[in-house]
Structure 1
Amino acid sequence: MTINAHQQWLVDFYKHRNWYQYSPFVHVAILTEEVGEVSRAVRTNEIGRDHPGEKTATTAEKRANLKEELADTLDLVLVLSSLYDIDAQDLLKASEKKLTARFKGEK
């Protein structure tokens, strides 16, 4: 699946669930929550949780959780870009263009 196909799939899914109608502010709030979950997953992978109320996760479980949270974050970015009629592929091109121009001449 291409990133553009996934973006369209997300839009259709969000519309079906009646989530797409929310304002960008709501989607940013959800994105912020997801970024926090990525932070927690990275911490768990790097230094652990050391929380008496939680079972110790296996390496595979920690990695799976990180993957899930990164995917959730990516999905919210793609939904937000769609709300502003920004093509997902254009996000990748903009990133490469910006970094290439910023660090021109470096190898």
Structure 2
Amino acid sequence: MTLQEHQQWLVTFYKQRNWYQYSPFIRLNFLTEEVGELSRAIRALEIGRDHPGEKPGSDAQKRANLQEELADILDQVLIISAKYDIVPENLLTASETKLGQRFKNS
């Protein structure tokens, strides 16, 4: 599946759940929430979490959680992109172009 195919699948899914109507401004808040969850997942992998309300997970569980949080962030980025009619592959091109130009003499 391409990023564009997944973006279209997400848009359809979000519309079915009545989640798509939220503005990009609200979506940004959801993205920020997901970044916090990613931070927690990375912390668990890198330095652990000493929290009495949580059972320590295995490395496999921690990595699965990391993947889930990265996917959640990607989904939010794709939905925001769809709100502005941005083709996801164009994000990849924009990133490569920007970094290539910025560091061409490095």
Cα deviations across residues 63-93 of structure 1 (Å, max 9, x unaligned)?
A: 0000000000000000001101111010111
Identity %: 66
- Structure 1 distance, partners of 2:11, 2:54, is 35
- Alpha-carbon shift at residue 105 of structure 1 (Å): 3.1
Give the ranges of 4+ consecutive aligned residues of structure 1 lying more than 3 Å apart after TM superposition. Answer: none
Does residue 33 (structure 1) correspond to residue 33 (structure 2)? The answer is yes
The equivalences for 1:4-83 within 5 A come to 4-83=4-83
Hey, what does 2:86 align to over in structure 1? 86
Hey, what does 2:98 align to over in structure 1? 98
- For normalisation by structure 1, the TM-score amounts to 0.96
- Structure 2 distance, partners of 1:71, 1:79, is 12
Secondary structure of 1:104's aligned partner: coil
Q: Structure 1, unaligned stretches of length 5 or more?
A: none
RMSD over aligned CA atoms reads: 0.7
- Structure 1 distance, partners of 2:83, 2:31, is 14
- For normalisation by structure 2, the TM-score amounts to 0.97
Q: Which amino acid aligns with 1:72?
A: D
